[in-house]
Amino acid sequence: MVSPNQILILFAHPALEKSRINRHLIQAVKGMDSVTIHDLYEAYPNLEIDVKFEQDLLLAHDIIVFHHPFYWYSSPAILKEWQDLVLEYGFAYGHSGTALRGKKFLSAITTGGSEQAYRREGYNRFTIRELLIPFEQTAYLCGMEYLPPFVVHGTHQLREQHQIAKYAKDYRYAIAALRDNTIDWESLRQCQHLNQIQDGVIEIREIPHHA
C-alpha cells in the first residue's frame, strides 16, 4: 500500500472571526489524517516567525498549501513575511538550497470578485492563474511543482449555507485526493483550477479509508 502524502496547510487570515468562507474550508479539513493545519496568525501574533521550526515543518511534508484570502492580488502580510524569512538562500534555493526539491505546492484562495471579474475582459484584467504567477515562480525557484489552485470566487455573494457547504466539501475532497494519490496527475496538470478535480480528474479506484 502506498503511503499517503503528508500535507501542510499554511493558513493565513488576519481576521478569521469575520470570514464565513475560510472558517468553513478550514473546518472541513481539520482532523484529517496526514494533514497539518498551521495557522500563522495564531502561531505568530507578533509576526516573530520561528524560521527553523517552519523549515522543519516543510521538510516533514510532501505537499505545501498556501491557504489565504486573495488580498490585493497577493497574500496577507504574514505570509509574505514567512516567505522572506523561511524560504532563504541555501535552504529553499541557490546552489545548495535543495531542501524543497520534488515537493508539490498549491494555492487555496478566496476572492470577493466573481469568476467573470478574473478574465482578460473582466474587471481585474487578468486570470487568477496569471495573477498567481509570483507564487508559481516561487515554487519553480525552489524546485517544487506548482499545482492548479483551489479557488472560491465571489465570496461576498455566497449567502446560502448549501453553497458554502459545497465549497467546503469540494476542498476536503481535493485535499483527500492529493493525500491519497487518487489523482491522474497528468490530467490535473492540464486543469486551470483544482476545483475541477470533481470533473473526472480523479482516477476511478477505491480511496483508502483515512479520517
Q: What is the pLDDT of residue 209?
A: 42
Q: Which fold has domain 7-199?
A: Rossmann fold (3.40.50)
Q: What is the mean pLDDT of the chain?
A: 89
Amino acid occupying residue 38? H
Q: What is the pLDDT of residue 204?
A: 40
Q: What is the pLDDT of residue 146?
A: 97
Higher pLDDT, 167 or 82: 82
Residues 26/80/41/195 CA torsion (nearest 10 deg): 0
- φ, ψ of residue 165 to 5 degrees: the values are -60, -35
pTM here is 0.90
Are 194 and 106 a contacting pair, CB within 8 Å? yes
Cell numbers standing for residue 20: 464565513
- pLDDT above 80 for 34: yes
Q: What is the pLDDT of residue 207?
A: 42
